[in-house]
Amino acid sequence: MSIQFDPNKAIYVQIVDSFYQRICSEELAPGDKLPSIRDTAHLFKVNPNTVSRAYQEMDREEITFSKRGQGTFVTEDLKKIQLLKEAIAQKQLNELVLYMRKLGYTDETIVEALKKTVKELKE
């Protein structure tokens, strides 16, 4: 797995986002150990300090927790993961709606377009 980072944005924020995505999709399950800072730095080809900062940020937001000498783990609190998932989804939805309004869509046509797209993508 490799990510193309946007150099215009803080790298650690993008690392956090990529882990949150994997945690929400349960690719990383509650209680799972995250790869070591070393492995993540090599995998993403970023500065280990940046990875360490990303891990601290996830710890601070209580989506992960670190055990001294053992590594960083995904929280076992399912409620926190659920809230994270809703927050990320909400942010995406807000951006989508605001963008479509800018394009001149009315609220009703936004809903219609969304329904249509959901249906189309299913097939």
Partner 1 sequence: MSRFEVKGLHKKYGQKLLFNNLSFRFDDNRFIVLLGSNGSGKSTLLKICSGLVPFSEGTIMLGNGQERIDRAHNSSFVAEHVGFPGYLTAEDILQQQQKLYPHFDLNQAMSYCNEMNVPTQTKWFALSTGQRYLLSLIIAISTQKPFLFIDELLANLDTVKKEAMQRILTDFLLEGSRTIVMATHAYDDVEMLADGVIFIENQNATIINDLETWRIEQGTSLNDLFARVGKT
Which of 38, 91, 115, 116 is the binder for partner 1 (CB under 8 A)?
38
Mark out the alpha helices in the chain (DSSP H runs): 11-24, 37-44, 48-60, 78-102, 107-122
Which of 16, 24, 34, 41 is the binder for partner 1 (CB under 8 A)?
41
Determine, following the binding rule CB under 8 A, whether residue 91 of this chain makes contact with partner 1: no
> Which residue, 10, 122, 20, is CA-closest to 80?
20
Report the SS3 class of residue 72: strand
Determine, following the binding rule CB under 8 A, whether residue 19 of this chain makes contact with partner 1: no
Report the residue number, 7 or 31, with the smaller CB distance to partner 1: 7
**What is the binding site for partner 1 (CB under 8 A)?**
5, 7-13, 37-38, 41-42, 44-50, 53
